[in-house]
Amino acid sequence: MPLLVPNMQKILLIKLGALGDFIQAAGPFGAIRQHHPDAEITLLTSPIFANFSSGSPWFDKVKIDLRPKIFQLNKLLKLRNWLKSSKFYRIYDLQTSDRSGFYYKLFWPNLKPDWSGIAPGCSHPHANPRRDLMHTIERQQEQLSMAGISSFYQGDFSWINKDISSFGLTNEFALLVPGGAAHRPAKRWPTQYYQKVIQHLVAKNVQPVLIGGEEEEILLKGLARTDPTCISLAGKTTIDDLFSLAQKARFALGNDTGPMHAAAASGCKTIVLYSSESNPVLCAQRGDDVTILRENSLSNITPDQIIEVLGLTRTQNQT
């Protein structure tokens, strides 16, 4: 079998998810694009990010990773053949998971490409034993610096300009993100607290707009019944929609979940609620106007505190 010689103009990035992690990789995406201006850059990612990534300025190609199981030999061989035949000169593993590290092994016994990540034996390891104690953004910046990319690149989403007129919004609206992983209920602010904020927004002529996935439709529809002007967009928004909505929203309030990263990165005034279930030191949303509120139990953060942070004082006749 002939030796597959790497093409110095072909670069691969690996980033599979989740949503918040993907958004916080925008800086590295841009830095890699800037460092390899003439290269053909391919992103290996999950299906949910394919359309969003294809419209971005960072990548020339997007390849969907179907995440084959170890026993799915045909699918593994197909992925292995694609990785080897693509002749990538360098691979930036921004996922740095067991799965992406396993992909490094798929090149055996052939010559492995330059590899930035944490796979044992790779050419450009992120050799910091405390990397897991760093915030995602600083960790990825340091990883790239160890691979020769020292220039910092601010994640830029100004290229997103989705038409949101079909959602039926008023001129003044706010985004509320009351959901989150169902198996981690301690990360959700109490539903009745969101109801109180909704009532307050309506009294201030600000339309409450609820954001979440299809799996949160029951929760969001229930909250939408708080007032006729409140609407649920559960399962109706793409990643582009999230950014475009946040760009025009008065503010975004929500639990520590993926859509809040889009709100923060868009420049929207963003308030994120953290319990002891997650550590903002490692994963906090970043943006121009982000407030993190954290208590061991989210029930200790009252609606009045939120209203004060937002600068929306109560009217005298409001209870």
Structure tokens given for 252: 């975004």
Which residues in the chain belong to E strands, given as ranges?
7-14, 40-45, 61-64, 88-93, 114-117, 124-125, 173-177, 207-210, 231-232, 252-255, 270-274, 290-294
- Fold agreement (7-145, 170-310): yes
Task: Reply yes or no on domain 7-145 having CATH 3.40.50.150.
Answer: no
Tokens 């590899």 belong to residue: 115
The pLDDT tens digits for 75-85 are 999 999 999 99
The pLDDT assigned to 152 comes to 82
Backbone angles phi, psi at 288, to 5 degrees: -75, -25
Peptide bond preceding 280 in cis form (omega within 30 of 0): no
Q: CATH top-level class for 170-310? A: alpha beta
Residues 6+ apart with CB under 8 A from 17: 45, 46, 48, 49
- Please state, in angstroms and as integers, the Cα–Cα distance from residue 222 to each residue in 191, 227, 273, following that order: 9, 10, 21
The pLDDT tens digits for 244-253 are 999 999 999 9
Rounded CA-CA distance 21/211 in Å is 19
Q: Confidence band (pLDDT; 50, 70, 90) for 2?
A: very low
What are 255's strand-pairing partners? 273
The pLDDT assigned to 292 comes to 98
The pLDDT assigned to 154 comes to 86
Rounded CA-CA distance 308/304 in Å is 6
3-state SS track over 205-233: CCEEEECCCHHHHHHHHHHHCCCCCCEEC
Structure tokens given for 254: 């929500």
pLDDT over 90 at 8, yes or no: no
Identify residue 170 by its one-letter amino acid code: T
Whole-model pTM?
Answer: 0.93
The pLDDT tens digits for 150-201 are 988 888 999 999 999 999 999 999 999 999 988 999 999 999 999 999 999 9
Percentage of residues of the chain with pLDDT beyond 70 = 95
Rounded CA-CA distance 206/222 in Å is 19
The pLDDT assigned to 312 comes to 79
The pLDDT assigned to 5 comes to 52
Helix, strand, coil percent content, the chain, rounded in steps of 5: 40, 15, 45
What are the boundaries of each domain within the chain?
Answer: 7-145, 170-310
